[in-house]
Amino acid sequence: MSDLAKLPVTIVTGFLGAGKTTLITHLMQNPGGRRLAVVVNEFGDVGVDGEILRGCAIPDCPAENIVELANGCICCTVADDFIPTIEALMALDPRPDHILIETSGLALPKPLLKAFEWPAIRARVTVDGVIALADAEAVAAGRFAPDVAAVDAQRLADDSLDHETPLSEVFEDQIACADIVLLTKPDLAGPEGVARARDLIAAEAPRVLPVVEVAEGAVDPRIILGLGAAAESDLDARPSHHDTPHDHDHEDFESIVVDLPELADAADLVAAIERLAKSHNILRVKGHASVAGKPMRLLVQAVGARVRHQFDRLWASDEARRGRLVVIAEHDDLRPEEIRAALTDLAPQPAE
């Protein structure tokens, strides 16, 4: 089989809350004449992103073409999960024209690229491109690319800071592996923030990368699909902190699932998440909740103290009205009992 006959795959990477699901939703609705399939890799066992995407399914990307790999990093479970999933998608009739892979916010893209060397698929698929999403406001603030001198000064003052933050390593590896960077939420960063983010990305990139500003995932598919990068054959140009034998794990991060009682008011949950982000350094919260007196389910997506919520659909008649949230933080910051207490003490009070 020639390279031209290989099934193209686009890897969408980016830190927690950078807008990967929003981008893929846009591509599903604007496929540019392609029949798409989507693989979603969640961190935590509540499949929020997969459910959102299935709710957006259209004829060019029907629900059966959307596969969710939950509770495990796709780059660490290649033989068990990834290869069988790609083979199953290639066996669909009609076969997809293009596969999109949304990695979890904690996944490193290079180990996933190496998976395309596996004999079972290397002659039949190619990595059309790696798309890295970067939150303009967060990058401008330097959260994922800390100043080396400042880190060294902190190490001198605090013996506990004896290693580089894993968040910066994830960010740097994603940029280093990318063929194009989408700078998301530029409106929140403002012109100065966008310029600062562009400078930081350029400093981290091992080569000159195109950087495109994107709001709400709205990008012309011609810009990011059909790149023909054959990234699986270009690994040496994509350096990683983890190029030594597979030493990548996710012990630096943990997630818990919190079952929520029915809420009196959505604003109470938003306020609780904002407080937790500041007091417990919570990185990401996503899931759904039930609000008393409201017929629709509340969808919640939070990045740090920035919380977005909306009523996304009606509760089904045979569906239990209960809420569930995935909470992700670095290992030392995740204190399950305190987090659950903060999020579950929000139930409506009985009338006197």
pLDDT, one tens digit per residue, over 249-276 is 445 667 788 899 889 899 999 999 988 8
pLDDT score at 53: 44
pLDDT at 171: 84
Q: How crowded is residue 249: how many other Cβ atoms within 10 Å of its Cβ? A: 10
Three-state secondary-structure class, residue 274: helix
> 3-state DSSP helix/strand/coil percent for the chain, to nearest 5?
35, 25, 40
Give the strand pairing for 253-260 and 296-303.
unpaired
The pLDDT value given to residue 51: 54
Closest to 231 measured CA to CA, from 9, 79, 6: 9
Report the C-alpha gap between 311 and 225 in whole angstroms.
Answer: 31
Which residues pair with residue 96 across a beta bridge?
A: none
pLDDT the model gives residue 48:
42
Hey, is 307 helix, strand or coil? strand
- Considering only CA atoms, which of 208, 204, 144, 215 is closest in space to residue 182? 215
pLDDT for 80 equals 55
Q: Distance between CA atoms of 79 and 127, rounded to whole angstroms?
A: 18
What's the sign of the alpha-carbon dihedral 340, 344, 346, 351?
A: negative
Which are the contacts of 83, defined by CB distance < 8 A and separation ≥ 6?
Answer: 115, 118, 120, 121
Residue-wise DSSP of 9-76 = EEEEEESTTSSHHHHHHHHHH--TT--EEEEEE-SSSS-HHHHHHHTT-BTTB-GGGEEEE-SS-GGG
Residue numbers in the chain where pLDDT is lower than 70: 1-4, 42-81, 106, 143-166, 242-253, 303, 347-352
| Residues belonging to the chain | 352
pLDDT in tens, 292-308: 999 999 988 786 777 88
Predicted local distance difference test score (pLDDT) of residue 158: 38
Nearest to 122 by CA among 111, 113, 131, 132: 113
DSSP 3-state of 285? strand
Cβ atoms of 288 and 272 closer than 8 Å: no
Q: What's the confidence (pLDDT) of residue 133?
A: 93
Is there a contact between 335 and 250 (Cβ–Cβ < 8 Å)? no
- What's the CA gap between 246 and 254, in Å, rounded? 20
